[in-house]
A and B are shown apart, each in its own frame.
Chain A
Amino acid sequence: MVRGSILTKKNTMTASAALFRTDTVSTRLASRGDLTSFLMELTAEIGADSYMLVAIGHGEVKNDARIVASNWIFDAIELVGRRLIASLAQGPLTTVPGSRPSALVTGEAPCAREFPSGEEAALLDVLGHAEIYSLALNVGRQCFFILMSASQAGQIDQSMLMKAQLKCCYALCQVPQLLADTTTQDPLSDRERECLFWVSEGKTTDEVAVILGVSSNTVNSYITHAIQKFSASNRAMAIATAIRSGII
């Protein structure tokens, strides 16, 4: 029912209001299609050709890229591979909001740098990604990355990037259900998170029990649950997993 009403709203908006809208990028996102058209408009706005929205997992396979949305051609994704995509998104290229963006120019003497290797850079260049920016996108505690690339170096308008980055953060905040994935979600209850936090601050079970005003058996059971949810083998591993995924 909710879905239906959103669709109707969207349809009426495309029919009437969209024609007269002055703002080039729409600010209401509800569906997968809205996200795609938002990202395409944003890509055009900064003068880029391709986008790829990526989440980096902290699960079983470390640094595995999960592609949320992209207009790269299928073959390019397969050829480049998720490992390289992950290290492009979350590597020395990454621009966090508020810092100065720096581009990877794939056609430019790549032998001098260690990453990416000459071959990888040449491959990206051939596939039409001559210039690549990686922008970190904070959606609450979660972090996503968007790779913006163009077929010509210097084609992307650097001055627009910072604005586009924040705009993209805001837009993603509206569609958390489209980004959701078990590896990036916070599986813990408030109490379990609190217990883990205090243990990570060096408190013993008895001390945590006093802090939270419950019995130490309860604290132990909260921690056991947290360990099970992370499928960790002990407390230290559960704490490490929670910190790595930004839960505590």
Chain B
Amino acid sequence: MISPAARQNAEVSVNDQRNPFGSSTAGTEARQAVSIADAVRRCRWIAIDLNATSFGLFMVGPSPDRLVPCFDSAYPDFSLTKSISARDSEEIIRHVRLSTQPRWWLDDSNAAMLEKFGSLSWAASMQPLIDGSAGLAFPVHAERGRCGLVVFAGGEMSVEQDMLYDIHARCFSLFSSVSRIRPGDVGLTRAISRRELECLKLTANGYTSEEIARLLKLSVHTANQYLTQSAQKLNAVSRMQAVAKALRLGLIE
């Protein structure tokens, strides 16, 4: 049996990553990535500390506007998340985009839970995500504007003000690991040449092929070929998608 302190230490060392805004390349990020199964295990540890019976992690996509289930306590099945994503979750999505404050809900007359949730500062109540239950929802954010929501539910959750900060911090680091998992994208990125990246970067800054050719002293055909090649290597179908992928992978700034 692992003690809670040892468990948290292990968690911190897993989470201990370099700053995502810095110059880390896709390669080093990939080494720190965890698998979904690891993430579920870490989320379960948090749920145990909260005495929650179920949990789930969602991505909030830029479009379409809905909660995209990533995993939940029924892993590898999706029983909890199915019931949530089917509901109208517009309110909470709007909240996640604009705020980081936790939200709680209570859909039964549980006086003890109401008192616990009511005494939390910074947190407010929301529409229940799951009928007939009580729960907490933590908005989480990662680099490049990725948003998510970590949800815990259960009838006898234990939560105090001091714990709330700690739990939320752990949700943040969990989400930042999860948002680094990018199956299929990683191996390909290394092969992109310096010249191709230069062309991509200039395209992102609004230059046309002709302007790029003039700036880099190439012929227009060569500039176009560099761009086509980089799009192919990034598995993109258009120049726009290649730029988007390179930015999201952190290949260009």
Which residue numbers of A lie inside 8 Å of B, CB to CB? 23, 27, 90-100, 136, 138-141, 143, 162-163, 165-167, 169-171, 173-174, 176, 190, 193-194, 197-202, 204, 232-237, 239-240, 243-248
Asked if B85 is at the interface of the complex by the 8 Å CB criterion, the answer is no
What 1/0 mask marks residues of chain B from 6 to 33 whose CB sits below 8 Å from any chain A CB? 0000001001111111100000000000
The segment out of B74-82, B95-103, B126-134, B188-196 that lies at the interface is B95-103
Asked if residues B169 and A162 are in contact (CB atoms below 8 Å), the reply is yes
Asked if residues A202 and B99 are in contact (CB atoms below 8 Å), the reply is no
A245 nearest CB neighbor, chain B only:
B145
The segment out of B49-57, B152-160, B215-223, B239-247 that lies at the interface is B239-247
B21 nearest CB neighbor, chain A only:
A90
Asked if residues A166 and B169 are in contact (CB atoms below 8 Å), the reply is yes
Q: What's the minimum C-beta distance from B11 to chain A, rounded to whole angstroms?
A: 9
Contacts of B170 in A (CB 8 A): 98
From B15, B100, B241, contact of A98 by CB (8 A)? B15
Asked if residues B203 and A197 are in contact (CB atoms below 8 Å), the reply is no
From A166, A197, A202, A236, contact of B63 by CB (8 A)? A197
Asked if residues B62 and A247 are in contact (CB atoms below 8 Å), the reply is yes
Asked if residues B165 and A243 are in contact (CB atoms below 8 Å), the reply is no
Contacts of A244 in B (CB 8 A): 247, 253
Q: Give how many B residues have a beta carbon under 8 Å from the other chain's beta carbons.
A: 55
Q: A90-B21, A166-B165 are in contact. Are A194 and B63 (CB under 8 A)?
A: yes
Asked if residues A141 and B208 are in contact (CB atoms below 8 Å), the reply is no
Asked if residues B100 and A202 are in contact (CB atoms below 8 Å), the reply is no
Q: A94-B21, A162-B169 are in contact. Are A239 and B15 (CB under 8 A)?
A: no
From B100, B145, B238, contact of A170 by CB (8 A)? B100
Asked if B230 is at the interface of the complex by the 8 Å CB criterion, the answer is no
Most buried by A among B19, B147, B253: B19
Contacts of B208 in A (CB 8 A): 234
Asked if B172 is at the interface of the complex by the 8 Å CB criterion, the answer is yes
Contacts of B64 in A (CB 8 A): 194
Asked if residues A247 and B244 are in contact (CB atoms below 8 Å), the reply is no
Asked if B206 is at the interface of the complex by the 8 Å CB criterion, the answer is yes
Asked if residues A169 and B100 are in contact (CB atoms below 8 Å), the reply is yes
Q: What's the minimum C-beta distance from B78 to chain A, rounded to whole angstroms?
A: 24
